[in-house]
Amino acid sequence: MRIIKKKKIADPEVVVSLPAIVTGSFFYTGFFPIASGTVGSLAALLIFFIEPALKPVVLLSLVIIFFAAGTLSARPIMKRYGDDPSVIVIDEVVGMWITILLFIAFGKTELSFFNAAACFVFFRLFDIIKIQPAKYFDESKSAFGVMMDDVIAGIYAGIVCVIISYTGFYPF
């Protein structure tokens, strides 16, 4: 894993539409020069300052909408920047939201700053180590695969965070 990834352009002839680049880079956080995936994951937490987003039905709806939008926007971005470029961080956003969704829906406690921080750490850990089937999707070199490897990481992280919330382990 490289922390600083150079934003190389694979095909300068490909023009990516503004909606695709805004969505795929999650409002340009994907262009952050250092650890853009981590920055995208942190940006995903900002939605939790909006009270309705903490309802599982609302968050599940956002996950579904952003998964579809992310898959559609990843295709042209990949044509321009290559396979799974660091510019695309909408996958990290969706994965982070899945982690939080599972915690909110099944965890024993409320979402606090410490719980959100723990969910963030576990999501990033699972996103980096890529346990199967996440590794399979990561290697598929498709827009769907770009999104799915983070969905799997989000599910793994969410399950771990829910289990920890039932053990009474701090900070849960």
Report residue 14 CA to chain centroid gap: 25
Nearest to 147 by CA among 35, 24, 53, 14: 24
Q: Which residues, in sequence order, are bridge partners of residue 4?
A: 34
- Look at 161 and 8; give whichever has higher pLDDT: 161
Quote the pLDDT of residue 3. Answer: 52
Specify whether the CB–CB gap between 110 and 170 falls below 8 A: no
Confidence of residue 15 (pLDDT cuts 50, 70, 90): confident
Q: How many C-beta atoms surround the C-beta of residue 172 within 10 A?
A: 21
What's the mean pLDDT when you consider all of the chain? 88
Using alpha carbons only, give the angle 34, 152, 104 rounded to the nearest 5 degrees.
Answer: 90
The C-alpha atoms of residue 62 and residue 52 are separated, in whole angstroms, by: 11
Res. 89: pLDDT tops 90: yes
Across residues 96-122, what is the average pLDDT? 90
Res. 171: pLDDT tops 80: no
Nearest to 41 by CA among 131, 108, 128: 128
Res. 52: pLDDT tops 90: no
Res. 160: pLDDT tops 90: yes
Q: How many C-beta atoms surround the C-beta of residue 139 within 10 A?
A: 13
Domain boundaries, the chain: 18-167
Across residues 27-43, what is the average pLDDT? 90
Quote the pLDDT of residue 33. Answer: 87
